[in-house]
Amino acid sequence: MSLIPNFRRSTDFPFPSSSLSFFPEFPRENSAFVNTRIDWKETPEAHVFKADIPGLTKEEIKVEVEDDRVLQISGERKIENKEDKNGTWHRVERSSGKFSRRFRLPENAKMDEIKAAMENGVLSVTVPKAEVKRPDVKAIQISG
């Protein structure tokens, strides 16, 4: 007697049938893409945002700045047509769906000098910082 169940098809799971809804064959949106993670690093010269967005072209991504100093990065990866008559889908695991992330930029951001670049599936958005004017300090001699 074997303790390992004999599964005849890939849809046979050792769970009640009501649990099968947790394993959709073709998910409408894959949260790994919908919740795209973005790093925000501040350097002495700029704020730098980096997002891993493999498989998208720069035409499928939007980088926008709103008047109230909000940077928005958004895009969409469409699901390939599952009705394609040229083959049979056995599994769909690649991420798909829309994403949109918003960041309120600090006061020292140079809004008119923002640059974006895409290389090897990584989007980089650079927001230069205005030079912070340090107050002039004058030493006052104490008499006494």
pLDDT surpassing 70 at residue 82 = no
- Show me where the domains of the chain are located: 38-79+96-128
Task: Tell me which of 126 and 54 has the higher pLDDT.
Answer: 126
pTM of structure: 0.65
Alpha-carbon span 120 to 62, nearest angstrom? 17
pLDDT surpassing 70 at residue 18 = no
Secondary structure element (H or E) that encloses residue 126, with its range = strand 122-128
How confident is the model over 26-69, as pLDDT tens digits? 444 444 455 688 999 999 999 999 999 888 889 999 999 998 89
Q: Which fold has domain 38-79+96-128?
A: Immunoglobulin-like (2.60.40)
Q: 49 near 36, Cβ under 8 Å?
A: no
Task: Tell me which of 27 and 89 has the higher pLDDT.
Answer: 89
Between the alpha carbon of residue 129 and those of residues 31, 40, 41, 70, 136, the distances in Å are 33, 14, 12, 15, 20
